[in-house]
Amino acid sequence: MVERAFAEAIATQGIVPGTGAYARAMVHVHRSRGRPKIDVFHGIFPDNEAQAQAANLTFERAYAGAIERSGLIPVPGTVEALDKIQAAGIQLALITGFSRATLGRVLSALDWSDKLDLALSPEDAGRGRPYPDMILTAVLRLGIDDVRHVAVAGDAESDMLAARRAGASAAIGLLTGAHSKQRLLSGGATHILDTFADLPALLLTP
């Protein structure tokens, strides 16, 4: 859904499938997964702020429309994993490259209001991944005493970079997203898991 929304967004700015420009743009989208969406468009349209903003607006509308048409289904085992982590007394923060508006739509579609202690977009922290801002904002808002008590799980290289830059004790790469095991390791992953469902076993093992 995300890549389709990106494709629709850049098409409105004249970059259409079947062209070299489209292929280059989608490679950039793939490499930039996890980063704020507006930052991705700045990379595609580096010299044209109006185009980047227009494409970002189209992305927001396209993704919202996709949610309305198809809904969202969590990766199998995710909800159960969240429940196990929450039951163990571990605080849960969701950080995303989506805007605050899109994040709100995602949370509403998933009905996860009772499963998270905090949900942050780049707008809430100043900068998105690969910068550490969202992780550090979560540390402050949740009253964490030591950033070394933080574990970050994500499926993009930028998640791993942000985790290491923030000083988190664990940067856990998940193989359910766009980036390969090698990309996650190159970003600084300390652990690799097949899916989020495997996370409780890692976190709750003495």
Tens-level pLDDT at each residue, the chain (206 residues): 888 999 999 999 999 999 999 999 999 998 898 899 999 999 999 999 999 999 999 999 999 999 999 999 998 999 999 999 999 999 999 999 999 999 999 999 999 888 999 999 999 998 999 999 999 999 999 999 999 999 999 999 999 999 999 999 999 999 998 899 999 999 999 999 999 999 999 999 87
Question: How far apart (Å, rounded) are the C-alpha atoms in residues 182 and 192?
Answer: 10
d(CA 40, CA 50): 14
Residue 110: CB atoms within 10 A of its CB come to 18
Residue whose tokens read 């199998």: 76
Long-range contacts of 8-12 (CB under 8 A, 24+ apart): 8/58, 8/59, 8/62, 9/41, 9/55, 9/56, 9/58, 9/59, 9/62, 10/44, 10/55, 12/54, 12/55, 12/58
Beta-carbon contacts of 156 under 8 Å, excluding residues fewer than 6 positions away, are 33, 34, 35, 129, 177, 178, 179, 184, 187
Can you give the pTM of this predicted structure?
Answer: 0.89
